[in-house]
Chains A and B, each alone.
Chain A
Amino acid sequence: MESPAEPPSPPPRALMAPATILERCTTGIAGLDDILGGGIPRGNMVLVAGSVGTGKTTLCLEFLVRGAERGERSLFLSVTEASEKLIQNLSTFEFFRADLVSDGSLVFVDLPMLYDKLGLEHEEMTADEIDILIRTIHDLVETLGVKRLVLDSLTSVCYRIRRDEAIRDFMLRLGQTLNDLGCTSLLVSEIGPTQGRYSMHGVEEAIVDGVVLLWNTRRSGDILRVLQVVKMRGTAHSRAQYVIELTPIGLLMAPHLKGGHPEGA
Chain B
Amino acid sequence: MLRYLITRALSLGASLVVASLVIFTMIEVIPGDPASFMLGLNASEDTVAALRDELGLNGTLSTRYLNWIGGLVAGDFGTSYTYRVPVAELVVERLQVSLPLAIFALLLSTLIAIPVGLIAATRRGEMTDYTIMGATQMGIAVPNFWFAMLLVLVFAVQLRWFSAGGFPGWDAGIGPALKSLTLPAIALALPQASILARVMRSSLLDVLHQDYMRTARAKGLSIAQATRRHALRNALIPVLTIIGLQFSFLLAGAIIIENVFFLPGLGRLIFQAITQRDLVVVESVVMLLVFAVILVTFLVDVAYAVVDPRLRRRA
Q: Do A and B bind each other?
A: no
